[in-house]
Amino acid sequence: MPENLRILKGRIRTARNIAQLAKTLEMVSVSKIRRARALADTVRPYARRITALTNAALQSLEPEQRTHPYLSRRAGPRILLAIGPDKGLCGPLTGNLVRRMADSVDENTWLITVGRRMELPGVRFAGDRLIASFRMGSRLPEYSLVFELVRVINEQIRAGKAASLDVLYGRFVSFFTQVPTVEQVLPIGAAAPQVVSEPLVFEPGGAALLDALLPHFLEVRLFDAVVQAFCAENAARMVAMQNAKSNALDIADSFTLLYNKTRQERITSEILDLANKGKKK
C-alpha cells in the first residue's frame, strides 16, 4: 500500500508538470500570434497600395504588351510553394497541410517547401522535383526569407522552366480555425476595371512601371502567406496546448481522487487492525 501511494504521488506530480509546461507553450503561442498580426497590419497598407498600382498599370496595357514572365499565360509546369511549421505540437494542422499537398502535387509540379515538417512529405510526393527547401523558424518571420524564395522562383519562371506559381499555406481565420489554402499567385491577372475621376497617366509608361512593381508585388504576396502560415501554426499550437493542459489536469484530479481513496482505505485498515488487537487482549 505505501508503494502504491508513492507511485500515485509521482503520477500526480508528473501530470501537473505537464499541465504547467502546456500552459507555458500556450502563452508563448499567444504572444507570437499577437506580434505576427501586428506585423501583418503594418504590411497590409503597403500591400493594398502596390496591388492597386499593379492593377491600374495592367489595365493600361494591351494584351500583346503583357510580355513580362509574371503576366504571360502559357502552358507548362507549375511551382507549388508549400509553407508549414518546423516543429510539431500543432494538432491536425500539419496533417491537413500534408494531405492538401499530396492532392496538389503531380508529375507536372515543381515543389518548394518552407518548414521542416513539409520537407520529408515533399520528398515523398515530388522526389527530385523538390527544387528547394527552407526553414520557417520559431521566431517572427523576416522579410529576408522572401528574398530567397523569390530568387528560386525567378530561376524557374524567367528561364521558362515553369509557367505558374501556387502557394499552399495555413490561412489564419481565427484562433480556433486554420484552413489549408492553395492560391494561384502567378501569372498575375488584371482586376476588374475601377471607375476613377481622372485617367491615370504613367511615366515613363505602364510597362516600365510594371517591371519595377512586379518583383515587389510578388514579395508582398509571399510574405503575407508566410505570416499567415506563422499565425496559423501558433494558433493551432495554442489550441493543442489548451487541450493538453485540460487533459493533464483531469488526469491529475483523477489520480488525486484515487490517492485520497487509497490513503483513506489504508487508515481505515490500520484502525480496524488496532480494534481487533484490542478485542483479543
Per residue of the chain (281 residues), what is the pLDDT tens digit? 455 778 888 888 998 999 999 899 889 888 888 888 888 888 878 888 887 778 777 777 777 667 777 887 777 889 999 999 988 888 889 999 999 999 999 889 999 999 999 999 999 998 889 999 999 888 888 888 899 999 999 888 888 888 889 999 998 888 888 899 999 888 886 444 444 445 566 666 666 777 778 888 889 889 988 998 998 999 899 998 989 898 988 998 888 888 888 888 777 877 776 767 666 65
pLDDT score recorded for residue 195: 44
| Residue of 39, 222, 50, 54 whose CA lies nearest to 144 | 222
pLDDT for res 152: 92
Beta-bridge partners for 114: 83, 134
| Per-residue model confidence (pLDDT) at position 205 | 63
Predicted local distance difference test score (pLDDT) of residue 196: 45
Query: How far is it, in rounded angstroms, from Cα 222 to Cα 151?
Result: 12
pLDDT at residue 210 in the model? 77
The secondary structure of the chain, three-state, reads: CHHHHHHHHHHHHHHHHHHHHHHHHHHHHHHHHHHHHHHHHHHHHHHHHHHHHHHHHHHCCCHHHCCCCCCCCCCCCEEEEEECCCCCCCCCHHHHHHHHHHHHCCCCEEEEEECHHHHHHHHHHHHHHEEEEECCCCCCCCCHHHHHHHHHHHHHHCCCCCCEEEEEEEEEEECCEEEEEEEEEECCCCCCCCCCCCCCCCCCCHHHHHHHHHHHHHHHHHHHHHHHHHHHHHHHHHHHHHHHHHHHHHHHHHHHHHHHHHHHHHHHHHHHHHHHHHHHC
Alpha-carbon distances of 102 from 107, 209, 262, 263, rounded to whole Å: 12, 38, 52, 54
pLDDT score for 260: 85
